[in-house]
Amino acid sequence: MQDGTTASGAFDTDVLILGGSLLGVELVHQLLRRSGRAMPRFTVVDRLAKHDYIPLCHERLTARLTVEESTLDTQTYVTSHGGEYVVGEIIGLDPERRTVTLASGRTLRGRTVVVALGSDVAPPPRISAEGSSGRGESAPPTRRTEHPTGLKFARELAPVHAALLALGDRAARIAVVGGGISGCELAGELAVWATDKKDVTVTLVQRGERLLEGLTPFVSRAALRVLKRQRVDVRLGCSMQIDADGTARIHGHDEMSEPAFDLVIWSVGVTPPPIARTLGLSTDAQGWLRVSPTLECLSDDAPSALTHAGVFAGGDIVQIYEGSTPIRAMRRAIEAIVQAGAIAKNVLTLLGAKDEASGRTALRVYRPLRDFPHGVSLGARSLLVLGPICFDLFAFTVWFRRFLMWRYLARYAPRR
């Protein structure tokens, strides 16, 4: 693996990292930490040059947190450490040649490739007049809603922020759809934003019978209590209905007796990015990339080899498989960060091996985290969730999560 060329041509870089968000940037950090002066050549490709701090995007939405204080200049961090940073849209990958193609027509070839293209926060595929707001429902489509959809990076946040401002001081009804962690955090944040606004109501619409369905009923009840105390109107067992003319109402209640919503924000559904299916790598039924416990990409075409040599993936985009069994792993920042360390080790092992075959047998197996505490910011209050129980810590978690953001920005500060 040590040779920089092959019969079919030279490599542009040693480590080609596709995606420079949480996994990508931590991978650079880990490679630098582990290889010191012998740092391999590395290139990061992402459509974004800067990255917003995703866990606090609800605070960005209401401008409680400014863009300046919550944005990472990823490109400058990478280039300050001698890496190449390419801003561009990835449209294809040839895993055998380890060559990526960008929309600009440029191609880049790596001795190793790491796919870290994350996930999408997708709106429901269809919003039906019959009141279907969930994914995978087959009710007849009317049209896509014009109300804003999932939030993650600045390009999704900006139009929703503008829509909030456009409400001005008039009486307004805002709905957040989805009672998972992001939806609850968003509803709580909007409740804080609406405190000094006359006649603005915030409604949280959840299809299930409880909030935070991924956590225990005890935590669900605590979240419900905290949100209600801040006058969030929580509707359980309901779904949002968007009519053909864009009118938004809750389905499942006495719809016509309530005025329509002025703004609906969708906070449902983390889905694989559509590009995952077009990379020539194996995907599962949902569309996540299938990787082995060494975080190498699995191949549908090469049952004997099973994995694509030198092609790794991690973060939200992957589902780890042991044989044909999926292994539970969280789609969270902490999981991406820990995976980045494991991938860095394996990439360096492969690059340092005398040949590919011996390098691959020396790769380490990654064990996903079992669980990790959750800090759930609910507007002016917050919960710290430890397994089955939680503590209402007033605003402590809100500030602690800001502290974590400062640590994140400091960790990837450009070298001076």
Q: 276 with 289: CB under 8 angstroms?
A: yes
Q: 212 with 220: CB under 8 angstroms?
A: yes
Rounded CA gap, 56 and 336, in Å?
17
> Which residue, 19 or 359, has its beta carbon nearer to ligand FAD?
19
Helix and strand numbers (H, E) in the chain are 9, 26
DSSP code per residue over 146-204: SS-----SHHHHHHHHHHHHHTTTS-EEEEEE--SHHHHHHHHHHHHHTTTSTTEEEEE
Site string for ligand FAD, 220-259 (x = CB under 6 A): ----------------------------------------
> Which residue, 117 or 191, has its beta carbon nearer to ligand FAD?
117
Which segment (30-38, 115-123, 161-169, 390-398) binds ligand FAD by CB under 6 A? 115-123
> Which residue, 129 or 404, has its beta carbon nearer to ligand FAD?
404
> Which residue, 131 or 315, has its beta carbon nearer to ligand FAD?
315
Pick from 244, 334, 357, 389 the residue near ligand FAD by CB under 6 A: 334
Pick from 131, 273, 341, 359 the residue near ligand FAD by CB under 6 A: 273
At 115, give phi and psi (nearest 5°). Answer: -95, 120
> Which residue, 55 or 341, has its beta carbon nearer to ligand FAD?
55
> Which residue, 360 or 402, has its beta carbon nearer to ligand FAD?
402
Q: Is 89 in the site for ligand FAD (CB under 6 A)?
A: yes
Q: 110 with 211: CB under 8 angstroms?
A: no
Query: Which residues fall within 8 angstroms of residue 389, CB to CB, at 6 or more apart?
Result: 216, 218, 219
Residue linked to tokens 């539970």: 328
Q: Is 333 in the site for ligand FAD (CB under 6 A)?
A: yes
Name beta bridge partners: 318: 289
Which segment (15-23, 29-37, 208-216, 361-369) binds ligand FAD by CB under 6 A? 15-23
Query: Which residues fall within 8 angstroms of residue 336, CB to CB, at 6 or more apart?
Result: 22, 23, 26, 116, 314, 315, 316
Q: Is 52 in the site for ligand FAD (CB under 6 A)?
A: no
Q: How far is the CB of 88 from ligand FAD (least distance, A)?
A: 7
Site string for ligand FAD, 150-169 (x = CB under 6 A): -xx-----------------
Q: How far is the CB of 336 from ligand FAD (least distance, A)?
A: 4
Q: Is 275 in the site for ligand FAD (CB under 6 A)?
A: yes
Rounded CA gap, 209 and 283, in Å?
32
Rounded CA gap, 340 and 373, in Å?
20
Rounded CA gap, 189 and 160, in Å?
14
Q: How far is the CB of 92 from ligand FAD (least distance, A)?
A: 10
Binders of ligand FAD in range 120-139 (CB under 6 A): 121
Binders of ligand FAD in range 345-374 (CB under 6 A): none
Residues of this chain that bind ligand FAD (CB under 6 A) = 19-24, 46-48, 51, 54-55, 57, 89-90, 116-119, 121, 151-152, 182, 273, 275, 315-317, 331-334, 336
